[in-house]
Structure 1
Amino acid sequence: MHPDVSDIKLSVKIDRFEQDLFNIDTTELVKAAAQLKAKYPDFYPIYFRNILRNTDPIDTNNINMISMIKDNRDFSLLKHDIDSVYPKLDDVEKQLTAAFKYYKFYFPEKQVPKIVTYLADFQLGASTVNNTLAIELDMFMGKGYRFYQSKSVNLPYFIQRKLNKDHIAPFALKAFAQQQFPMNERDKTLLHRMIYNGKILYFLDSTLPDVADSAKIGFSQKQIEWCNTYKADMWTDFMGQGLLYSTDELKYAKYLNDAPFTSGQENDSAPMLGVWTGWQIVRQYMKENPEVTLAQLMNESDSQKILKDSKYKPK
């Protein structure tokens, strides 16, 4: 049962940084760049310095970089393709409006971020800085997109499969949650990382309740079904091999990292089995402890407590 958020007055409007960037008047570049920077005070410096990696110490206002982008054939083609696929973002705005209404329900004191879109060179999908949530539209162009197939990009199919509009909101909300609730890096155990990822996905359960599990975690429906079929076997393996409390990241990385399937398992297995299992533990914990709020869950740093109080024993 979803909480009633109809009384929460909120409407998400997405600012199109990539359109404003390409609409810059090059005859008055210094003035136009200053106006762009004024409209996007958080994102402007991050975009050029961190995302596009402008290291020119002289180009402090990114004038040369802007000229390069506007003159670059690949950037122009990419901008054309983005405009074709996403002439408007009404559906995404509607979905994010609903998501952030739920967010305000659970975290009434928190501020809703400014949301912008941009184009880059196939990097992050979404990122956050201060109070800006930025969505990289070139990472959601659909499988088979021409640049994904190019030699310079060459994204594997298992990645391309989720680079579409259905994954924009889950990807953005995940990046936002990771900024709001960063992981305690001191705890190196697999259990801690499983539970942390599980909490992030439970945050998506709460803010995107109508989105399919497959879109939240980035699995195919067959991979979701595989996990449900073998969840007890997975748990037996984690417990039997003593992996839960291992701090050897080389030993357990395959259970957290994305891949076509999990190494050592059959080829139709799901990847990220630790992430999926952590999600189920957190779901079970919240079911067993209905008095725990989403805010309390996200701020709970004791992964062992969550495991113990979840009574997680899949069959």
Structure 2
Amino acid sequence: MKLVFVSSIVTLLLMTMACSSGSKAPDVSHVDVDFELIPFYEDLFAIHPDSFAGEAEALKAKYGQYLEAYSLGVIAAGSTEDEDFVENMQFFLSYEPNQEVLDTCRLVFGDTAPLEEELESAFKYYRYYFPEAEVPDVYLHISGFNQSVVVDSSWISVSVEKYLGRGCLFYEWLSIPVYLRRRMSPEKVVPDVMMALAMTEFAYNDSVDDLLNQMIYEGQLRYFVKQLIPDIPDTTLLDFSTEQMSWVENNEERMWSTIVENKHLFSNDRMTLQRFVGKSPFTYYFGEESPGGTGIYLGYQIVKAYMERHPETPLASLMQMNDGHAFFRSARYQP
């Protein structure tokens, strides 16, 4: 079983002008999706630690390979067949901080109806653009603040304690930087699920791993999410505050000129790449007033420029374009 951890089906698509960034979102009311939203963490933590030995087999029977993947890959409790599996799970369930986290997760995600509705809407768009695609079930788990999203062939699992709201006291206790907490709000769950889907189905081509390729790939991912969640604000899509969004919009031409003049565009220096597309409080080359991830913003603008010039391009075709240099030439991006 192959898992993809994401800090995560190329098929024929209906030709549509709706791919263009300025187009009205297509009508997906007729699209059927079949998936389950499964609050696994509720079933798991409903078991008293002292009773886990007697409940383990029933849990295995109900959750099968998902439980195996969760135990092995998410919380490192070992295989469900290991002799110390029960003891490890008893420790995890009885660990006092996990109980405190559970209470907060129930406050934020206890009513799953709104989340299920948001997921259904996004999956409808997914099936509209990719009619043959399988829609995965979505599990909710508690990981001990490990991976935010875990992807397998038939399911995606979300670590709910990573989305409790940027003001959550746990994040302060864990010394998580403020700029990262912006990504840790409930409204990011569905975008992150769709992002994980995109990263799994359309892997990055690192044969030419330079800044331009990374920028465009990150831009393609955001464009994909935007098509599946048409109403998502750019601030949420790009993890910017309102002020940061204004800054990048007002400084787009200056940012681009700086990148070109300093010959960063075709750089494969790891530090340079990190400074433009990595998670950071600001972009090193643009000063502390700038947000981090400005390279992602510019990549998104390049993708939008391409789609404005080639609006007939199906989303599936767009996501398969993995030559950033050729893509850039066709986009003719000019800030």
Superposition TM-score, scaled by structure 1 size = 0.93
Q: What is the aligned partner in structure 2 of residue 29 from structure 1?
A: 52
Q: Which runs of 5+ in 1 are unaligned?
A: none
Q: CA 1:238–1:60 in 2, change beyond 3 Å: closer, same or farther?
A: farther
- RMSD across aligned positions (CA): 1.9
Counterpart residue number, 1:87: 110
How far 1:182 sits from its partner (Å)? 1.1
Are 2:334 and 1:309 equivalent residues in the alignment? no
1:182 corresponds in structure 2 to 203
Give the unaligned 5+ runs of structure 2. 1-23
Match of 1:216? 237
Secondary structure in 2 matching 1:116: strand
Q: In 2, distance between residues paired with 1:12 and 1:90?
A: 14
How many aligned positions are there?
Answer: 312
Counterpart code for 2:127:
K
After superposition, where does 1:35-46 map in structure 2 within 5 Å? 35-46=58-69
**Once the two structures are superposed, what CA deviation does each residue of 1:127-186 show, in whole Å capped at 9, x if it has no partner?**
212221111110111123222121xx2111111233111111112211121111111233
Task: Give 2:292's aligned amino acid.
Answer: P
- Kept in 1: contact 2:49–2:91 (CA 8 A): no
Report percent identity of matched pairs. Answer: 27
Structure 2 residue aligned with 1:53, among 70, 76, 99? Answer: 76
In the aligned structure 2, how far is the partner of 1:10 from the partner of 1:220? 33
2:186 partner letter: K
Shift of 1:200: 0.4
- Whether 1:261 and 2:279 are equivalent positions in the alignment is no
Counterpart CA distance in 2 for 1:163 and 1:149 is: 12
Q: C-alpha deviations, 1:197-232, integer Å up to 9, x for none?
A: 111000011000001011112111111111111111
Is the Cα–Cα contact under 8 Å of residues 198 and 277 in structure 1 kept in the other structure? yes
1:250 counterpart = 2:271: yes
Q: Distance in 1 between matches of 2:167 and 2:78?
A: 33
Query: Match for residue 10 of structure 1?
Result: 33
Equivalent AA in structure 1 for residue 280 of structure 2:
A
State the match for 1:173 in structure 2: 194
Structure showing greater relative contact order (alpha-carbon pairs closer than 8 Å, 6 or more residues apart):
2
Aligned residue for 2:29, secondary structure, equals coil
Range with bigger deviation, 23-32 or 283-292:
23-32
Given that 2:39 and 2:140 are in contact with CA atoms closer than 8 Å, whether structure 1 keeps it comes out as: yes
The answer to which of 235-244 and 189-198 deviates more is 235-244
Corresponding residue number in structure 2 for 1:197: 218
CA distance in 1, matches of 2:280, 2:223: 22
